[in-house]
């Protein structure tokens, strides 16, 4: 059994995998990583290895505690990966994107795949049918767009995410909702269309915290998978302990 830990910008996800199958998943605040990991290992004593991916801030003390709990692989750009990385600045490639591309290499070999991770940022990552990672794009996520309008202007309020009833906003609030939600939906559909112009056999994966909200509103055909990053981390771990 493997312990998989994904530290995001706001939360941490911990999952147990056995023979490639998800057994358990929990979500908590980052400060509780060690306690949660200890609880899982007590509940699943067959856990023999772990991996952690962090785009948030994990301090040295937390890492040391985790290393005492389980043999731990810390994902980085220097990790041996199950794909060919053709990114021109591989040392700057985020570990979250590395994990997503690895999941693609396992789940969709010999395919052209566009992975869209919709969270604090929206990341686009493209892997071709030769198992080559070529790169992608980074864009503001839904909450980042709402917060930016509030932080960078004097009079616009910070609103909770809400689907607009119409593209024409007739109040400040409805105008913000229209701009944010229709803006990101049009962006997603437009990016997917651009990739499909070059790769008609394209497989599109949508994951991340906003995947459920966005998937039912997109015009494009996609596969939604909320656990895609965790699956990629587990595959990387298996790939490195063979």
Q: At what angle do helices 60-69 and 33-43 cross, to 10 degrees?
A: 10
Residue 239, in any domain of the structure: no
Tell me, what's the pLDDT at 157? 97
Residues 144 and 224 in one domain: yes
Question: Cα–chain-centroid distance for residue 111?
Answer: 20
| Same domain for 161 and 133 | yes
Question: 33: closest CA among 1, 79, 65, 71?
Answer: 65
What is the separation of C-alpha 150 from the centre of its chain, rounded to a whole number of angstroms?
Answer: 25
* Alpha-carbon distance values, 78 to 125, 138, 166 (Å): 19, 22, 47
Instruction: Characterize the bridge pairing of strands 132-140 and 49-54.
Output: unpaired
My answer on whether 25 and 141 are in the same domain is no
Q: What is the mean pLDDT of the chain?
A: 94
CATH number at residue 14: 3.30.420.40
Q: What CA–CA distances, in Å, run from 84 to 88, 189, 205?
A: 12, 27, 19
Q: For the chain, which ranges sit under pLDDT 50?
A: none
Task: Report the pLDDT value the prediction gives residue 189, as an integer from 0 to 100.
Answer: 96
User: How many domains does the chain fold into?
Assistant: 2
C-alpha gyration radius of the chain: 19
Whether 42 is in a domain gets the answer yes
- Catalytic entry in 96, 117, 125, 210: 96
Scanning the chain, the segments in alpha helix (DSSP H) are 33-43, 60-69, 95-107, 142-151, 172-177, 183-198, 211-215, 228-241
SS (H, E, C) 100-139: HHHHHHHHCCCCCEEEEEECCEEEEEEECCCCEEEEEEEE
107 and 22, same structural domain?
no
Domain boundary at 47, 74, 101, which? 74
- Tell me what pLDDT residue 41 has: 94
Residue 166 and residue 103 share a domain: yes
User: Is 96 noted as a catalytic residue in this protein?
Assistant: yes
CA distance 242 to 226: 26
Q: Are strands 113-118 and 121-127 parallel, antiparallel or unpaired?
A: antiparallel
111 and 188: one domain? Answer: yes
Tell me which of 36, 55, 74 is where a domain ends. 74
pTM over 0.75: yes
pLDDT in tens, 135-159: 999 999 999 999 999 999 999 999 9
Where a domain ends, among 74, 107, 128? 74
Is residue 238 assigned to a domain? no
Question: Residue 43's domain spans which residues?
Answer: 2-74
């Amino acid at each position: 059994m493997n312990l998989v830990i994904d530290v995001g910008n706001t939360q941490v996800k911990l999952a147990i995998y056995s023979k490639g199958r998800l057994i358990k998943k929990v979500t908590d605040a980052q400060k509780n990583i060690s306690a949660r990991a200890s609880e899982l290992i007590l509940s699943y004593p067959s856990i023999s290895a772990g991996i952690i991916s962090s785009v948030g801030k994990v301090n040295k003390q937390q890492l040391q505690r985790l290393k005492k709990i389980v043999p731990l692989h810390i994902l980085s750009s220097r990790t041996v990966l199950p794909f060919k990385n053709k990114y021109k600045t591989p040392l700057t490639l985020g570990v979250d994107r590395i994990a997503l591309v690895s999941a693609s290499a396992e789940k969709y070999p010999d395919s052209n795949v566009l992975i869209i991770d919709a969270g604090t940022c929206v990341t686009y990552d493209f892997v071709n049918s030769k198992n080559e990672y070529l790169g992608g794009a980074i864009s503001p996520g839904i909450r980042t767009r709402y917060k930016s309008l509030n932080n960078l202007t004097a009079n616009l309020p910070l609103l909770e995410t809400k689907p607009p009833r119409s593209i024409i906003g007739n109040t400040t609030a409805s105008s913000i909702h229209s701009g944010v939600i229709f803006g990101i939906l049009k962006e997603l559909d437009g990016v997917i269309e651009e990739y499909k112009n070059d790769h008609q056999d394209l497989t599109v994966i949508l994951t991340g915290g906003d995947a459920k909200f966005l998937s039912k509103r997109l015009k494009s055909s996609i596969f939604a998978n909320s656990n895609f990053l965790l699956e990629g981390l587990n595959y990387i771990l298996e790939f490195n302990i063979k």
